[in-house]
Amino acid sequence: MKHKSGYIRCFTMLLLVALMFSGGSVHAASAKSSSDRLIGKIMRVASESQQSINSRPFSVGDSLKKVEKSWGEPEDLSTVAANYWSHHVRFLYDESTPRKTITAIDEFSPQLQTIHLLQVKNLLGEPASAKEQEGMYYVTYTDNESYKIVFVFESAWNNPDPALSMYTVGPAEKSCK
Write the pLDDT tens digit of every residue in 13-48: 333 333 333 343 344 444 457 889 999 999 999 999
Helices (H), 50-140: 64-71, 117-124
- The string of pLDDT tens digits covering residues 146-163 is 899 999 999 878 888 999
Whether pTM exceeds 0.85: no
| Better-predicted residue by pLDDT, 1 or 102 | 102
Mean pLDDT for the chain? Answer: 82
Question: Sign of the C-alpha dihedral, residues 31, 32, 33, 35?
Answer: positive
Give residues with Cβ within 8 angstroms of 70, minimum separation 6.
57, 58
Q: What angle do CA 158, 104, 67 make, to 5 degrees?
A: 125
* Mean pLDDT to the nearest integer, 118-141: 94
- The string of pLDDT tens digits covering residues 75-128 is 999 999 999 999 999 999 999 988 899 999 999 999 999 999 999 999 999 999
pLDDT given at position 84: 97
